[in-house]
Amino acid sequence: EPEVTQTPSHQVTQMGQEVILRCVPISNHLYFYWYRQILGQKVEFLVSFYNNEISEKSEIFDDQFSVERPDGSNFTLKIRSTKLEDSAMYFCASSVLQGGTGELFFGEGSRLTVL
């Protein structure tokens, strides 16, 4: 069964460093998403991406964050100048259909720890 894969599974970084989280969505999917989940809290929407541009973003997704689909298969989330409060699990997801009309397939997540 096709799946969304994310790397790294766990990254530890120093505050102020830049981090890139990588995702390989399912190959025929057109819509891509990043979510995050701080330990013990709910899953929070960050951004959705379609046709090589951002289609929706939350108030969390400020100038510190950026997304890119550099080569037609990878979908990356860059976090510039990480802060302690960026420590969380970051989930990538993809879907064939827009938003909630179909199933979002989530990856296993990348745990980011900022020290």
Partner 1 sequence: LAKTTQPISMDSYEGQEVNITCSHNNIATNDYITWYQQFPSQGPRFIIQGYKTKVTNEVASLFIPADRKSSTLSLPRVSLSDTAVYYCLVWTGGGNKLTFGTGTQLKVEL
Half-sphere exposure of 59 (CA within 13 A, CB side): 0
Pick 15 or 60: Cβ nearer partner 1: 60
- Among 72, 65, 67, residue whose Cα is nearest residue 88: 65
Pick 18 or 56: Cβ nearer partner 1: 56
| Contacts with partner 1, residue ranges (CB under 8 A) | 4, 31, 33, 35, 42-45, 48, 50, 55-56, 58, 89, 91, 93, 98-109, 111
Sign of the CA dihedral with 45 first, then 105, 10, and 48 last: negative
Pick 13 or 44: Cβ nearer partner 1: 44
> What minimum distance in Å lies between the beta carbon of 65 and partner 1?
15
Q: Rg of the Cα trace of the chain?
A: 13
Q: What is the residue type of 56?
A: E
Q: What is the residue type of 105?
A: F
> What minimum distance in Å lies between the beta carbon of 45 and partner 1?
6
> What minimum distance in Å lies between the beta carbon of 16 and partner 1?
27
